[in-house]
C-alpha cells in the first residue's frame, strides 16, 4: 500500500461492483469502498440468486430432491450428485455396485475437467485475454457432448440415484472418452505455452491475492484455494469416498499462496483428472449399475448424517437430519465457494481494484452455489 | 492435531455442561458406542425421540454418520469448544441450525474438520431456547463463521451475541420471517 | 480556385477513406479474432459477413440516445464528437504518397502530437460527463496513461527529427528513399538503438490508441466498459469509430517515421500502395496483439512508461545526438 493510501489525506467513495458486472461471473455484488484505485473495504453481498434449496429439501421426498443437486453448482453438478448419493447411501445403508462407483468417478472427473476448463477461460477473460476462453470452450464442448450422451443433460445433471446411476455407459461413451483424453492431453501444455508463460499474465498473477494456509483454515476455504496455499488436502485422498482409493493420481499442491498458484492447481488438476479417468476406464468392471432392493420411498433411520466430496471448487458437504420419514427434517448444504469467497473481504483490503478482481477470479466463484 | 486430547477436553467440557446436581441414576458423562446391540440402540433412539438429547459426548461411527465425535454442550460453552478445536488446528467447516419445534428448542451445529493428513470430524451442538435464542459468536476465532452465523441467524432466528454484522444476507432486506423454522408458512 | 477544388476533393477522399476504414477495420478485427480463436467470425450478413459493418451502423444509428440523469449533459454530448474531430483532422497531414498529401506542413509532426493529445481529453470529458463511477475511474486512468505515453513517444519522434532535420512528414519520408536499410528503423549509423526505439514508438502508439494490452480506459471485465459505459447508440459508435481512426493514424505515423512511408523497400515504384501495405500490416499486428495478450494493470502500465520507456528514450536521444555529432 502506498503511503498516500495510509495518510489522513484520504477521500473515499463507494463503488458497487455488480450484481451485473462482467467480473463477477453472475450476480455477486461487491460493495467496495475505494480510496482512489485502492480498496479500503470490499464487502460481498449475496442473495441475488438465492432459491432456498435447504427449505426445498424439507418439503420434498428424498427422491424428489435429486434435481436440486444439479442446480447448485451448474459447472460441477456431478460432484454434488455424488455427495447426495453418498449421503443417502450412508444414511440408509445401501451398498453400491462397483461398476456404478466407477461410472460415478468417470463422469464426475469429466465434469471436473469441464469446470476447470471454463474456470481457466473465464479467468483469463477477466484479465482481458479473450482468446483462451474460446480454446477452452472448444474442448469443453466435447465433454458436454459425452456427458449428454449418457446423462441426457448438458449442465444440470440428475444422473446418480440412491444405489447407483440412472443408466449404464455404452461403448460409444468409452471410446469417445478415450478419444477425448487423447486429444485433450496435449492441449494443456499448449495452454501453458500460450497463456501461462505470458509475461503480462505472470505479472498480473504472481504475488497477487496472497492467502495463507492459516487464513484458509480460519475461513474454511478448501479446494484449489487451499491447495494453492501449500496444504495437501483433498477429500478424495484425505476422506476417501467411492473408488478413489483404488485409483492412481496425485494431488497438485503449490506453496506460493498467490493467484498464480491457484491457477496452476486447477491446470494440474485437469491433468490428474485425465489420469483418473483413464485409470478408471481401464479398471471398469462388468456388472449392474444399480443396487438391488433399493426402496422406492427411502426412510433412513433417525439421526444426523454427514457426507463430504471434493467438488471442483472445494469441499462440498451435506448434513441432513432425518426423522425417519420420507422427507428430510433438515437439509444443510455446505458449498465450497461460500467459504472461499468469505475470505475476500479480509484478503482484499488495500489491494488495487484490478488486483482484487484478479484475486476474485482466482477464487473461481459460482454464484448459484454460493447463494443456494 | 491430537485426537485423544480433543476428545478428553471436549469430554470435560460436556461434563461441565451437565447440571450441577446430576440425577443419581445417570452417569455424568454419557459415552455411547454405536456398536452397541441394535435393539438397545433402537430403544435409545426411540427414547431420544421423545425427549431432547442430553448434553454429552458420543463417539460416532464414521461409516454410518460421517463424523467421529459428536458432542452436545451448553450454549455458553461453544466458544470454549471452538478455542479447544482451534488450538488443535481444526477448521470450522460450517455452522448451521435445526429447529426442534416439539421441544421448543433451536439447535446450533458446528462442523469441524481437520485440513491435514488425518481424517477427523467433530460435531459440536448446543441447544438454545426457542423463545430466547441467544448464543455467543465464534467469529473472533474463525473468520469464516461470520457468514455462516449470519445465514443461520437469518434462516432460523438464532441470535449470535457479539456478531459484528447480523444483517440480512441471502434474504431480502425487508424479510421479517425465519424461513427454516418449522412453524414458518410461506 | 484550383487550390480550393484540390482541398475539397481531398476532403471528400479522406472522408471516404476514413469511412471505409472505420467500417471495415471493425470487420477485419472480428474476422481476425475469429481466425485466432478457431471460429469463423461474422459470416451471415452478405458474403463473408462483408455487409456486417452496414448492419451494425444501421443498428447503432436507429437506437435511442439516452442521457443518464446524473450526466453533465453538455459534456456528455460533446465528448463523442470531440473524440472524432482530432482523429479526422489529423489525416490532413499524412503523406499517403509523394504527391498525395492533402496539405504539406513543415511542422506536420508537431501538429500530429498536438491534436492527438486532444483525444485523451475527450475520453476524460466522456468519463466525467457520464456521471458514472466506472467511467470516472476509466477517464482518470486514460488521461494518466496518455500523458505517460506521450512523453516517450514524443522523445522518440524528436530523435527522428534530429536525424532528418525536418518536421515535415513528407520530407521525413523522402529522406528514407532507396533500399529498405535507409528506413529510419534500420538507420544504425544514426543510432544503434534505432530498432528498439521503433519498438518503443510502437508500444506507445498501442497505449495511445487505448488498445489491449493497454486498454485501461475501457477495461472490460473490470470497469464494465470504461469511459463509454453510459453511451449507447451512435455515441458509442463514434467512440468506437474514433478508436479505429486513431489506430489508422497511429499506424500511419509509425509507417511514416520508421518504415519509409510510401517508399518501396527496393527503390522501385514508390507510391501510396506501399504506404497502405505497411500501414495495414501494422494494423494487423495491433489486432493480433489484442486477441493474444491479456490486459496489464494500471500500475504495470505506468511503471512500464516511467521506469523503462522514458529513461530508454532519453538515452536514445542522447545517443543519437552523439552519433550525429561524431559521425
Q: Is residue B156 part of a domain?
A: yes
Q: Is residue B72 part of a domain?
A: yes
Contact A204 C296 (CB under 8 A): yes
Phi and psi of C174, rounded to 5°? -55, -35
Region B15-34: mean pLDDT is 55
Q: DSSP character for A37?
A: T
Using one digit for the tens of pLDDT, what is the confidence trace for C120-156? 888 888 888 888 888 888 888 888 888 888 889 889 8
Closest B-chain CA to A343? B144
Q: Is residue B186 part of a domain?
A: no
Domains in chain B, number: 1
Q: What cell numbers appear for C311 in the block?
A: 529513461
- Distance, in Å, from the CA atom of B32 to the CA atom of B10, rounded to the nearest integer, reads 15
Mutual angle of helices A98-126 and A77-92, in 10-degree steps: 150
- Distance, in Å, from the CA atom of C228 to the CA atom of C246, rounded to the nearest integer, reads 16
User: CA of A194, closest CA in chain C: separation in Å?
Assistant: 8
Q: DSSP character for A128?
A: T
Q: Is residue B25 part of a domain?
A: no
Residue A231 touches partner B, C-beta closer than 8 Å: yes
Q: Which residues of A86-115 are buried (b: 16+ CB within 10 A; e: fewer)?
A: bbbbbbbebebbbbbbbbbbbbbbbbbbbb
The domain segmentation of chain C, as residue ranges, is 64-326
B4: β partners: none
**How far are the Cα atoms of A77, A108, C18, C93 from residue C102, in angstroms, in the given order?**
64, 66, 14, 7
- Distance, in Å, from the CA atom of B115 to the CA atom of A222, rounded to the nearest integer, reads 9
**ipTM entry:** 0.84
Range of the domain at B127: 3-16+30-35+49-161
Interface of B with A in 134-153 (CB under 8 A): 141-144, 146-148
So what's the pLDDT on residue A9? 61
So what's the pLDDT on residue B49? 54
The most distant pair of C-alpha atoms in chain B lies apart, rounded to whole Å, by 51
* Residue B30 pLDDT > 50: no
- Distance, in Å, from the CA atom of A332 to the CA atom of A72, rounded to the nearest integer, reads 13
So what's the pLDDT on residue C83? 86
Mean pLDDT per block of 10 residues along chain C (327 residues) reads 83 87 87 87 85 88 86 87 85 82 80 83 86 84 86 88 84 80 77 84 86 75 79 85 87 88 79 87 89 83 88 88 81
- Distance, in Å, from the CA atom of C210 to the CA atom of C35, rounded to the nearest integer, reads 22
- Distance, in Å, from the CA atom of B111 to the CA atom of B122, rounded to the nearest integer, reads 6
So what's the pLDDT on residue B58? 78
Task: Find chain B residues with C-beta within 8 A of A47's C-beta.
Answer: 168-172
- What does B33-56 look like in DSSP terms, one character per residue? BTTS-HHHHHHHHHHHHHSPPPSE
Closest A-chain CA to C211? A128
What CATH number is associated with residue B150?
3.30.460.80
CB C127, CB C139: distance < 8 Å = yes
Residue B179 touches partner A, C-beta closer than 8 Å: yes
- Distance, in Å, from the CA atom of C196 to the CA atom of C316, rounded to the nearest integer, reads 9
Domains of chain A listed by start with CATH number: 56-327 (1.10.645.10)
Q: Is residue B153 part of a domain?
A: yes
- Distance, in Å, from the CA atom of C121 to the CA atom of C246, rounded to the nearest integer, reads 14
Q: What cell numbers appear for C322 in the block?
A: 552523439
Contact A130 C219 (CB under 8 A): no
Split at pLDDT 50, 70, 90, the class of B184 is: confident
CB C185, CB C156: distance < 8 Å = no
So what's the pLDDT on residue B21? 54
Per-residue pLDDT of chain A (372 residues; tens, 9 = 90+): 455 555 556 678 888 887 888 777 778 888 888 887 888 888 888 888 888 888 888 888 888 888 888 888 888 888 899 999 988 888 888 888 888 889 989 999 999 999 999 989 888 888 888 888 889 888 899 999 998 998 888 888 888 888 888 888 888 899 999 999 999 999 899 889 888 888 888 888 888 888 888 888 888 888 899 888 888 888 888 888 888 888 888 889 998 888 899 999 999 999 999 999 999 999 888 888 888 887 777 888 888 888 989 888 888 999 888 888 888 888 888 889 888 888 888 888 888 888 888 888 888 888 888 888
Of A217, A238, A319, the CB nearest to B91: A217
Q: Is residue B168 part of a domain?
A: no
Amino acid at each position: 500500500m502506498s503511503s498516500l493510501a495510509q495518510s489522513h489525506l484520504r477521500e473515499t467513495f463507494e463503488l458497487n461492483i455488480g450484481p451485473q458486472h462482467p467480473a463477477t461471473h453472475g450476480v455477486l455484488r461487491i460493495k467496495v469502498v475505494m480510496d482512489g484505485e485502492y480498496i479500503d473495504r470490499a464487502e460481498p453481498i449475496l442473495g441475488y440468486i438465492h432459491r432456498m434449496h435447504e427449505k426445498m429439501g424439507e418439503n420434498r421426498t428424498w427422491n424428489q430432491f435429486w434435481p436440486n443437486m444439479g442446480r447448485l453448482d451448474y459447472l460441477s453438478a456431478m460432484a454434488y450428485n455424488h455427495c447426495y448419493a453418498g449421503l443417502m447411501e450412508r444414511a440408509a445403508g445401501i451398498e453400491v455396485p462397483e461398476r456404478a462407483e466407477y461410472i460415478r468417478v468417470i463422469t464426475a472427473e469429466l465434469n471436473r475437467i469441464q469446470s476447470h476448463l471454463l474456470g481457466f477461460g473465464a479467468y483469463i477473460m477477466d484479465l482481458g485475454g479473450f482468446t483462451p476462453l474460446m480454446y477452452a470452450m472448444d474442448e469443453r464442448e466435447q465433454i458436454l457432448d459425452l456427458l449428454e450422451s449418457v446423462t441426457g443433460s448438458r449442465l444440470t445433471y440428475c444422473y446418480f440415484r440412491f444405489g447407483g446411476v440412472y443408466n449404464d455407459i455404452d461403448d460409444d461413451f468409452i471410446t469417445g472418452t478415450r478419444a477425448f483424453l487423447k486429444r485433450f492431453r496435449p492441449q494443456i501444455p499448449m495452454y501453458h505455452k500460450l497463456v501461462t508463460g505470458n509475461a503480462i499474465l505472470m505479472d498480473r498473477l504472481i504475488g497477487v491475492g496472497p492467502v495463507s494456509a492459516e487464513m484458509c483454515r480460519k475461513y474454511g476455504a478448501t479446494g484449489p484455494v487451499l491447495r494453492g496455499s501449500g496444504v495437501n488436502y483433498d477429500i478424495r485422498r484425505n476422506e476417501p469416498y467411492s473408488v478413489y482409493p483404488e485409483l492412481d493420481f496425485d494431488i497438485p499442491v503449490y506453496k506460493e499462496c498467490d493467484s498464480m498458484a491457484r491457477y496452476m492447481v486447477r491446470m494440474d488438476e485437469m491433468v490428474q483428472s485425465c489420469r483418473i479417468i483413464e485409470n478408471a476406464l481401464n479398471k471398469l468392471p462388468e456388472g449392474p449399475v444399480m443396487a438391488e432392493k433399493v426402496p422406492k420411498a427411502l426412510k433412513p433411520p433417525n439421526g444426523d448424517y454427514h457426507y463430504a466430496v471434493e467438488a471442483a471448487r472445494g469441499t462440498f458437504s451435506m448434513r441432513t437430519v432425518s426423522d425417519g420419514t420420507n422427507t428430510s427434517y433438515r437439509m444443510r448444504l455446505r458449498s465450497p465457494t461460500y467459504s472461499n469467497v468469505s475470505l475476500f473481504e479480509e484478503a482484499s483490503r488495500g489491494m488495487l481494484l484490478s488486483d482484487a478482481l484478479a484475486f476474485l477470479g482466482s477464487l473461481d466463484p459460482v454464484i448459484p452455489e454460493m447463494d443456494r | 492435531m491430537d485426537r485423544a486430547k480433543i476428545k478428553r477436553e471436549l469430554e470435560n467440557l460436556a461434563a461441565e455442561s451437565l447440571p450441577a446436581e446430576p440425577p443419581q441414576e445417570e452417569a455424568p458423562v454419557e459415552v455411547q458406542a454405536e456398536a452397541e446391540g441394535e435393539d438397545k440402540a433402537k430403544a435409545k433412539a426411540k427414547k431420544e425421540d421423545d425427549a431432547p438429547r442430553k448434553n454429552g459426548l458420543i463417539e460416532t461411527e464414521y461409516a454410518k454418520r460421517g463424523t467421529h465425535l459428536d458432542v452436545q454442550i451448553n450454549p455458553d460453552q461453544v466458544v470454549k469448544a471452538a478455542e479447544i478445536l482451534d488450538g488443535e488446528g481444526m477448521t470450522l467447516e460450517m455452522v448451521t441450525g435445526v429447529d426442534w419445534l416439539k421441544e421448543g428448542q433451536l439447535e446450533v451445529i458446528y462442523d469441524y474438520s481437520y485440513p491435514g493428513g488425518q481424517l477427523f470430524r467433530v460435531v459440536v451442538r448446543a441447544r438454545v431456547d426457542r423463545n430466547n435464542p441467544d448464543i455467543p459468536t465464534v467469529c473472533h476465532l474463525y473468520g469464516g463463521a461470520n457468514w455462516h452465523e449470519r445465514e443461520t441467524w437469518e434462516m432460523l432466528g438464532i441470535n449470535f451475541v457479539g456478531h459484528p454484522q447480523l444483517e440480512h444476507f441471502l434474504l431480502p432486506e425487508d424479510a421479517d420471517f425465519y424461513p427454516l423454522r418449522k412453524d414458518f408458512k410461506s | 480556385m484550383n487550390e480550393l477544388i484540390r482541398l475539397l476533393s481531398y476532403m471528400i477522399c479522406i472522408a471516404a477513406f476514413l469511412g471505409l476504414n472505420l467500417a471495415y477495420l471493425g470487420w477485419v478485427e472480428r474476422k481476425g479474432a475469429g481466425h485466432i480463436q478457431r471460429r469463423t467470425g461474422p459470416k451471415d450478413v452478405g458474403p463473408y459477413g462483408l455487409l456486417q459493418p452496414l448492419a451494425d451502423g444501421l443498428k447503432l444509428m436507429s437506437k435511442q440516445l439516452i442521457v443518464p440523469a446524473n450526466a453533465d449533459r453538455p459534456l456528455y454530448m460533446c465528448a463523442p464528437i470531440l473524440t472524432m474531430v482530432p482523429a479526422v483532422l489529423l489525416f490532413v497531414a499524412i503523406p499517403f504518397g509523394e504527391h498525395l498529401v492533402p496539405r504539406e506542413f513543415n511542422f506536420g509532426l508537431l501538429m500530429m502530437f498536438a491534436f492527438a493529445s486532444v483525444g485523451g481529453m475527450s475520453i476524460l470529458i466522456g468519463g466525467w460527463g457520464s456521471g458514472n463511477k466506472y467511467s470516472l475511474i476509466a477517464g482518470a486512468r486514460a488521461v494518466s496513461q496518455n500523458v505517460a505515453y506521450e512523453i516517450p513517444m514524443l522523445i522518440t519522434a524528436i530523435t527522428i527529427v534530429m536525424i532528418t532535420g525536418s518536421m515535415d512528414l513528407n520530407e521525413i519520408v523522402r529522406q528514407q528513399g532507396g533500399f529498405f536499410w535507409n528506413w529510419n528503423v534500420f538507420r544504425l549509423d544514426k543510432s544503434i538503438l534505432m530498432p528498439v526505439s521503433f519498438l518503443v514508438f510502437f508500444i506507445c502508439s498501442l497505449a495511445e490508441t487505448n488498445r489491449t494490452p493497454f486498454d485501461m480506459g475501457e477495461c472490460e471485465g473490470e470497469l464494465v466498459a470504461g469511459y463509454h459505459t453510459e453511451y449507447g447508440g451512435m455515441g458509442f459508435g463514434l467512440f468506437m469509430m474514433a478508436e479505429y481512426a486513431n489506430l489508422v493514424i497511429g499506424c500511419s505515423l509509425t509507417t511514416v517515421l520508421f518504415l519509409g512511408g510510401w517508399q518501396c523497400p527496393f527503390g522501385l515504384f514508390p507510391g501510396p500502395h506501399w504506404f497502405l501495405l505497411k500501414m495495414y500490416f501494422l494494423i494487423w499486428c495491433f489486432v493480433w496483439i489484442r486477441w493474444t495478450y491479456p490486459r496489464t494493470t494500471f500500475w504495470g502500465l505506468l511503471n512500464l512508461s516511467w521506469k523503462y520507456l522514458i529513461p530508454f528514450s532519453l538515452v536514445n536521444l542522447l545517443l543519437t545526438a552523439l552519433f550525429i555529432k561524431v559521425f
